[in-house]
Amino acid sequence: MMKCFERLVMHNIKTSLPNTLDPLQFAYRPNRSTDDAISSTLHLALTHLENKDCYVRMLFIDFSSAFNTIIPQQLINKLNLLGLNTSLCNWILDFLTGRPQSVRVGHNTSSTTTLSTGAPQGCVLSPLLFTLLTHDCTAKFSSNHIIKFADDTTVVGLISNNDETHYREEVAQLVEWCGANNLSLNASKTKEVVMDFRRNSVDHPPLTIYSSAVERVSSTKFLGVHITEDLTWTTNTMSLSKKAQQRLHFLCRLKRASLPPPILTTFYRGTIGSVLTSCITVWYGNCSAADRKTLQQTVNTAAKIIGAPLPSLLDIFLARCSGKATSIVKDPTHPSHHLFQLLPSGRCYRSIRACSARLLNSFFPQAVRALNSNHLTPL
């Protein structure tokens, strides 16, 4: 019952929020997903790397128990500035403070502790409240961008002519912001990836946070996708293939138990297909033919085990690109909306009829090649 009431409160909060919220916060907003956050991050990097004497530094920040460090009164002050009415703010303050908590193991129960910081674990409102707490965490310099998905935060520094002044100042200001908002930045788990394709690249001095050097890595996992310093997708596709192949064992066991193909197909979609198609609109169009073949072989093996045909990864990729493009073109607040231009009337591909091939050409080149075979002409 309480979760149902929280959903009503959450709807009330969302309808009261202004349209000026940070567009680079992708969590818990309509028509936003991890695909959008990753695509926007990579688009910024790839666009900048096309320029002369440029490189990119990406800082993947890790917070320690981010939801547990929220100070309710500080959050309420920000909600007041966002225009939420006083009664709603008072209800949220009462919801977050004075919460009794105890731990029970078997027949033993600990003493009760009253908490007045953080957000309750597993509550509907907690993620939304955290994103509202961090809505003012934005980049101060135009050459930097802060991409957020709840507590997953990435600083993208677009650096030209080896001048890292703004990037380092941005990180220093972010550290100060975290201190002012009671967020604990875990420097030991924070990673940095440097993308430098110049022939005469120089050694990049390490970035320091809390007097300790941030570890520079060749690849890291960002919202479930492996991002590498050379911007290739072999590491990501091999990881997906390994995880999917491990789960084929359970599909074989279900087959030996004489389960019918419809049940096996449902199991495949939930445990194997969901892995192979995770954020597929981000990486499939740019991964190598060998990587695509490796993933498709897993799908073919699953189809043989089930004894029924399964949709190919290319078909799923094109369908999701179509849906993604349609949703973005209808949402003027989406960060990628400005990349769209309406196509003139004529022959188009299904629901792409009113969408721009310019965005598809930027993010989904494989889709554009397939659509061109159906006489869709890019602008």
Residue 210, SS3?
coil
Tokens at residue 293, please? Answer: 């073949």
Coil, strand or helix: which one is 265?
helix
* pLDDT of 11 strictly over 70: yes
Q: Which tens digit of pLDDT belongs to each residue from 226-242? A: 999 999 999 999 999 99
**pLDDT in the model for residue 339:** 63
Q: Which among 341, 258, 364, 373 is positioned nearest to 305, based on CA atoms? A: 258
Residue % of the chain over a pLDDT of 90: 47
- In whole angstroms, what is the distance from residue 40 CA to residue 199 CA? 26
Find out whether 153 and 61 touch, Cβ atoms under 8 Å: yes
| Size of the chain in residues | 379
- 104: exposed, middle or buried (C-beta count within 10 Å: 0-12, 13-18, 19+)? exposed
What Cα–Cα distance (Å) separates residue 168 from each residue in 3, 52, 136, 182, 214? 42, 21, 19, 21, 12
Model confidence at 114: pLDDT above 70 = yes
Q: Determine the Cα–Cα distance for residues 185 and 212; give it in Å rounded to an integer.
A: 12
Per residue in 357-373, pLDDT (tens digit) is 444 444 455 544 544 55
Q: How many angstroms separate the Cα of 185 from the Cα of each of 64, 175, 329, 342? A: 6, 7, 36, 43
What pLDDT score was predicted for residue 341?
47
pLDDT band at 146 (very low <50, low <70, confident <90, very high): very high
Query: pLDDT value at position 362?
Result: 47
To the nearest 10°, the Cα dihedral for 330, 334, 335, 339? 0
Confidence tier at 56 by pLDDT (50, 70, 90): very high
Q: What is the mean pLDDT of residues 340-365?
A: 43
| Mean of pLDDT values over 104-112 | 92
For the ranges 71-85, 185-199, 314-328, the lowest mean pLDDT is seen at 314-328
pTM: 0.82
- Whole-number Å distance between alpha carbons of 272 and 276: 6
Tally Cβ neighbours within 10 Å of residue 377.
12
Q: What is the pLDDT of residue 252?
A: 93
Average pLDDT over residues 114-134: 86
Q: Are strands 144-149 and 152-160 parallel, antiparallel or unpaired?
A: antiparallel
pLDDT band (50, 70, 90) for residue 269: very high
Residue 350 in this model has a pLDDT that exceeds 80? no
Residues 195-223 pLDDT 10s: 999 888 788 899 999 888 999 999 999 99
Between 21 and 142, where is the model more confident? 142
Coil, strand or helix at 147: strand
- pLDDT computed for residue 340 by the predictor: 57
> What is the overall mean pLDDT for the chain?
85
User: Quick count: other Cβ atoms within 10 Å of Cβ 17?
Assistant: 16
Range name among 52-56, 201-205, 236-240, 281-285 with the lowest pLDDT average: 201-205
**pLDDT at residue 64, as a whole number:** 85
The CA-based dihedral angle spanning residues 152, 155, 156, 161, taken in that order and rounded to the nearest 10 degrees: -160
